[in-house]
């Protein structure tokens, strides 16, 4: 097929074959019942064109041939020959034939090919005089310009569709990559957290069974410790499962969404959590809000999992065109000491990778302050 050709359903191709056959038979009828002698070569060409049109109409395997570029040029050549030398002095048959030709060309072919056909037809009628050439010249000019315009916009639409398809493919690949990274993160979190605790529980329960036989009092103390460990693990799993749920974003109020996440965190973990904000309402795009809340949930999950904190304070500020969210805890802090920006964290390979990636995707900035043994603070700012 020609470059830029659209792939139309078979019904469209069948309709083109029907119109071609109708015009071919009409030309043959005009030739047979004309009172004027016609060139023998034109009679032969008409017979060949009729045979070709009927074969294409009947034989479905020739669908690709009938919409090919050689087929278009052959139809155009027969059209100009019949219009100049055939039995069509009024030009009506030739006019309808040309309209069909332009419609088929604009639908199935690139605009450059359409321009070639239109230019050839206009040049022919401009230099070859016949009873119908003047009327056909006007028809060819108007219909040809319209066909070229339609074919050009068709090509632009194809380019736009191709770009959209390429972009969709890129987004799908990016979504697959993000999904894989999220699966790896979940698997890592589960392996480092609940799984290790369950293994420890299993080992200690085996030891407890033996200990209860030898020293019931010590065994009971161990049992209480295991019960406390099981309760804390249930709390951690509940928090872990909540972090897997879709983020609930209030389209009209980011403050409400942040407050809700802090309340859930305190309820699930037992860690005292407080939300502070001088803002009563912050409006933000749902996509941006979703990412912001996901960053906050991950930051709180890290506090609960790693910091051994007893208190957490979450605050939100809306200054000008910037939204700033802070998470401060009284836990053990990060393994490093000091305050670092996003670029410095990347350079030193410090800080949570997922949070840094999300902040960067929003065009924001991140600051982490670590006070080993006395807590840590995480602050991220994004354009509102």
Return left, alpha or beta for 349; rule: phi > 0 is left, psi -120 to 50 is alpha, else beta. left
Q: CATH class for domain 246-384?
A: alpha beta
Check whether 157 has a pLDDT greater than 60: yes
Percent of the chain at pLDDT above 70?
87
Q: How many CB atoms lie within 10 A of CB 216?
A: 11
Quick one: pLDDT band at residue 249, thresholds 50, 70, 90?
A: low
Cα 273-275-281 angle, rounded to 5 deg: 155
Give pLDDT tens digits for 260-288: 889 988 888 888 999 998 877 788 887 88
Q: Please tell me the predicted confidence (pLDDT) of residue 368.
A: 93
pTM above 0.85, yes or no: no
Provide mean pLDDT across the span 29-50: 78
DSSP state of 61: G
Cα 309-291-192 angle, rounded to 5 deg: 45
Stronger pLDDT, 159 or 132, i.e. the higher one: 159
* Residue-averaged pLDDT of the chain: 81
Q: Please tell me the predicted confidence (pLDDT) of residue 315.
A: 94
Q: Please tell me the predicted confidence (pLDDT) of residue 375.
A: 92
Give pLDDT tens digits for 315-326: 999 887 889 999
> Rounded to a whole number, what is the distance in angstroms from the first to the last CA of the chain?
50
- Which range (82-96, 103-117, 369-383) has the least confidence? 82-96
Ranges in the chain annotated CATH 3.30.565.10: 246-384
Check whether 363 has a pLDDT greater than 60: yes
Provide mean pLDDT across the span 137-162: 86
Q: Is 219 exposed, middle or buried (0-12, 13-18, 19+ CB in 10 A)?
A: middle
Query: 88-97, 153-162, 227-236, 325-334: which has the highest mean pLDDT?
Result: 325-334
Backbone angles phi, psi at 340, to 5 degrees: -135, 145
Give pLDDT tens digits for 160-214: 988 998 999 988 888 888 788 777 767 776 766 677 777 777 887 888 778 777 8
- The residue among 267, 341, 290, 282 whose CA lies nearest residue 316 is 282
Quick one: pLDDT band at residue 3, thresholds 50, 70, 90?
A: very low
Quick one: pLDDT band at residue 366, thresholds 50, 70, 90?
A: very high
Q: Please tell me the predicted confidence (pLDDT) of residue 4.
A: 41
Check whether 91 has a pLDDT greater than 90: no
């Amino acid at each position: 097929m020609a470059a830029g050709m659209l792939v139309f359903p078979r019904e469209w191709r069948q309709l083109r074959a029907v119109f071609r056959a109708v015009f071919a038979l009409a030309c043959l009828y005009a030739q047979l019942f004309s009172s004027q002698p016609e060139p023998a070569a034109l009679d032969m060409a008409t017979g060949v064109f009729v045979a070709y049109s009927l074969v294409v109409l009947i034989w479905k395997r020739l669908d690709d041939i009938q919409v090919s570029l050689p087929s278009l040029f052959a139809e155009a050549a027969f059209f100009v020959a019949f219009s100049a030398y055939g039995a069509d002095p009024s030009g009506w048959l030739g006019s309808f034939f040309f309209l069909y030709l332009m419609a088929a060309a604009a639908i199935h072919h690139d605009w450059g090919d359409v321009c070639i056909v239109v230019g050839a037809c206009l040049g022919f009628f401009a230099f070859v005089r016949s009873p119908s050439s003047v009327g056909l010249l006007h028809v060819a000019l108007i219909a040809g310009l319209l066909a070229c315009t339609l074919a050009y916009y068709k090509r632009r639409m194809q380019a736009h569709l191709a770009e959209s398809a390429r972009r969709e493919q890129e987004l799908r690949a990016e979504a697959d990559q993000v999904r894989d990274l999220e699966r790896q993160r979940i698997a890592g979190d589960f392996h480092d957290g609940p799984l290790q605790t369950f293994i420890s529980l299993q080992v200690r329960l085996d030891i407890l069974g033996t200990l209860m036989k030898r020293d019931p009092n010590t065994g009971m103390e161990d049992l209480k410790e295991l019960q406390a460990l099981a309760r804390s693990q249930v709390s951690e799993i509940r928090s872990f499962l909540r972090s897997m749920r879709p983020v609930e974003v209030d389209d009209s109020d980011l403050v409400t969404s942040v407050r809700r996440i802090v309340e859930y965190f305190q309820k699930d973990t037992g860690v005292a959590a407080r939300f502070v904000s001088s803002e009563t309402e912050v409006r933000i795009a749902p996509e941006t809000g979703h990412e912001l809340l996901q960053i906050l949930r991950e930051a709180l999950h890290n506090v609960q999992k790693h910091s051994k904190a007893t208190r957490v304070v979450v605050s939100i500020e809306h200054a000008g065109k910037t939204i700033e969210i802070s998470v401060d805890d009284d836990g053990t802090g990060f393994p490093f000491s000091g305050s670092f920006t996003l670029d410095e964290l990347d350079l030193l390979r410090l800080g949570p990778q997922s949070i840094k990636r999300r902040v960067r995707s929003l065009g924001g900035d991140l600051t982490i302050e670590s006070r080993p043994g006395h807590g840590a603070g995480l602050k991220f700012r994004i354009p509102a």
